[in-house]
Amino acid sequence: MAAESSAEVWFRCRRLVEFRDTDAAGIAHFSAFFFWMESAEHELLRHLGLRVVDHEPDDADLLTSELAAAGEVVGSVRLEVSWPRVSVTADYKSAVRFGEEVDVSVAVAEIGASSVTYAFRFESGSRLVATGRVVAVRCLLRPGRKPLPVRLSPLVSQRLASHLLAAKS
């Protein structure tokens, strides 16, 4: 488990609460936070030089050999690696309304063998609006078949680690 650490670890982006993000009372609908988390995660990945959907993974040779060892016909397989979510949560602290700005901060809470857990903070001014958590698994996408979890490459792990929250003592 990880705990909050220095501000440099958190990657920040800003969102405007748009009309489409609100309920009939003009308050940000709970579902908007899930879109904002995904959007912030994608911005972080791009910031780190990683692709959301990668057709040229840095560990392509290893992935191809693992597929061959599993009996896959590798000559016909186009490598496509992405990050399906396996768990998403949000805890709401206060409301934000149409037209307000929300700062979305994302950091890496944990790096697993094939997964990454992100922590999120939503703030409006100095007010904490919500917190969230997303667990995404690096998977090889195969047409017509279930996504296949694959290990994080050393490059991916290293880049994610630059935003890793400090471990609890």
pLDDT tens for 76-128 read 667 899 999 999 999 999 999 999 999 999 999 999 999 999 999 999 999 99
7-161 to CATH, choices 3.40.50.300, 3.40.50.720, 3.10.129.10, 3.40.50.880: 3.10.129.10
Q: What is the reported pLDDT for 16?
A: 97
Helix/strand number for the chain, H first, E second: 3, 8
- In angstroms, rounded to a whole number, what is the distance separating the alpha carbons of residues 59 and 153? 6
Any idea what the Cα angle at residue 157 is, between residues 151 and 162, rounded to 5°? Answer: 165
Q: What is the reported pLDDT for 78?
A: 76
More confident residue, 168 or 141: 141
- In angstroms, rounded to a whole number, what is the distance separating the alpha carbons of residues 148 and 125? 41
CA dihedral 19, 20, 22, 28 (to 10 degrees): -100
- In angstroms, rounded to a whole number, what is the distance separating the alpha carbons of residues 77 and 67? 9
Place of tokens 């990945």: 45
pLDDT tens for 2-40 read 334 456 899 999 999 999 999 999 999 999 999 999 999
Name the residue ranges covered by the structural domains of the chain.
7-161
